[in-house]
Amino acid sequence: MVSRSLSVPSLARGAIDQILSTDALAYLPPGVGGKDVVVDYQVIGETQARGKGKGVAQVLIVAARKDAIHEHVDLLRQAGLLARRIDANCLSLLEAFQGHRWLTEGRATAILDVGASSTKVVVVERGAVRLSSELTFGGVQVTQALASRYDLDEEGAEALKLEVSRAGEETESVEVDGRAYSVAELRETLESLYEALIGSLRRLFDFYQRTEFAGSSVDSLILAGGGARAFGLQPFLAAKMLLDVEVGNPFGRLPFRLSGPALVDLDEASPRYALALGLALKGMAPREGAVDLLPLSVRDDQTRVRQGRRARRVALVYFGVLALVAALLAEGRHYFRAQADYAREQTAVLRPLVEEATRLEEENVRLRDKLALLEGLGGGRLIWAKALHDIGSLVPDGVWLTDISSEERLRVRRREAEEASSAEPGRTVTSLTMLTVEGRGSSESDVSRFLRALETSPAMTNVRLDYVREIEDEGRYAAQGVEFQIRLAFTP
């Protein structure tokens, strides 16, 4: 992946697209171009023109090989992931070191991301990426050089590389697998390899000085990546290129400190996380018009894959909802069936209780009736005594009584208003004791005398003779005379 910045008239994005669609590759370093390259750009700055002239836009053009992009996309697919966009490494590295003192001072600074097989170089000046390129130098070349120099296999050479990278300036030798190695010889071997890197950097910086800013030159280097702490790399670059060189710490720009148990020493390993941290920070706040190197064909394929996944998710949700509804219905039927069985069981248990409660209520009613009768009898004793006394006093000679029975009745009497203007007519309800008097007399005239005596009594009303008839007894000792029955209302 390579990039460089150039100045174009400040136009709308559509007009810039039209300009760069034909001339973009001409602005990139020699050897970059062809149909196998994806090119995109991002406006990184804009200068307003004086008067009526048009302003100038600073545009960063980025190009990457399609085969490299497809390799990354395939790796993501194997992991079950889809790439939404492909950012430029140079912009991610710039994001990782935003706030570094050299960048904030506006110095022309090169960020070197030393990887396993290549080194990404990003030239930053005045807060923007001006040029980026990729050099064929990395940790693999260092491992191969050590393996060739000391006749080691790849694993042994890698162990030697890691061990010597931890050696201090005063260390004379390091030991790996019981074998001692001279630090001076190791430095000589590695510095011969570093010479090739320095040559590539000088050519790139010369190209930048000639094409970008006349008289502007790179004066500082920030080392990042897994090979940033390679033995002797930092002091060798500073001495040979006469530049300020330091190993960058991308975590230094975070507003917090990472703490807690860690599998690695973050201060020691921080340079290798520069690119990942920059990508993460850019992903948290994507910018409109940012570089996206994802080819249209790949984007279309992934759109179809994403739509297929979305359709499968919708289908899974749909059938999941149906299954849930079916389960709820089945559970509901089971629940209501269980409730019905429980209700029947409770009914069977409660039926004897209800029947017993009904029987007790009926018994209670009967007891209330008996109590009312007893109270009536208790309250009617005086009435009986008065009735027997009054009737007994009216019985003439030649008449004797055989039975007296009573019956309570209600009598309704109309009551006229005492004052027509203030009261309305009403009704008075009183209780009457109806008596049935049976007896015998010597003759009908004796019964008549008894009937007249009852009619003249103020306590007796509605006196009525039901019958008077001769006694029909037979036999030697049959009684002579008449028997009668009289009904009357007694008012005490």
48 occurs within a structural domain = no
Our CA angle for 423, 425, 428, nearest 5°, is 115
Q: Is residue 379 part of a domain?
A: no
Range of the structural domain that residue 414 is part of: 395-490
In a shared domain, residues 280 and 413: no
- For the chain, 492 residues long, the average pLDDT of each consecutive 10-residue run is 68 62 58 67 65 66 79 83 78 85 87 90 85 86 87 86 77 83 84 89 86 72 88 88 90 68 68 84 67 68 76 86 86 84 87 86 81 60 75 88 77 47 50 84 90 89 91 62 91 74
Pairing, β 128-135 against β 426-441: unpaired
Same domain for 270 and 136, yes or no, is yes
Domain membership flag for residue 103: yes
* φ, ψ for residue 131, nearest 5 deg: -160, 145
Q: Determine contact, residues 248/274, Cβ cutoff 8 Å.
A: yes
Query: Do 280 and 407 share a domain, yes or no?
Result: no
Q: Which helix (DSSP H) or strand (DSSP E) does residue 130 occupy?
A: strand 128-135
CA atoms of 355 and 487, how far apart (whole Å): 45
- Which residues partner with 488 through β-bridges? 435
Residue 173: which H helix or E strand, with range?
A: strand 173-176
- pTM attached to this predicted model: 0.56
What gap in Å lies between CA 469 and CA 210, rounded to an integer? 162
- Looking up residue 207, the CATH number of its domain turns out to be 3.30.420.40
Q: What is the pLDDT of residue 421?
A: 44
219 and 107 within one domain: yes
pLDDT of residue 72: 80
The CA distance from 176 to 171, in Å, is 14
For residue 70, the model assigns a pLDDT of: 81
Q: Is residue 173 part of a domain?
A: yes
What is the rounded (10 degree) CA torsion for 62, 67, 72, 77?
Answer: 130
Question: What's the number of domains the chain is made of?
Answer: 2
The answer to whether residues 224 and 113 touch, using CB atoms and an 8 Å cutoff, is yes
In a domain, 383, yes or no: no
pLDDT of residue 15: 63
Rg of the Cα trace of the chain? 61
Task: Give the domain CATH number at 449.
Answer: 3.30.70.2830
Q: Which residues contact 421 (CB under 8 A, 6 or more apart)?
A: none
190 and 72 fall within a common domain: yes
Q: Does residue 283 form part of some domain? A: yes
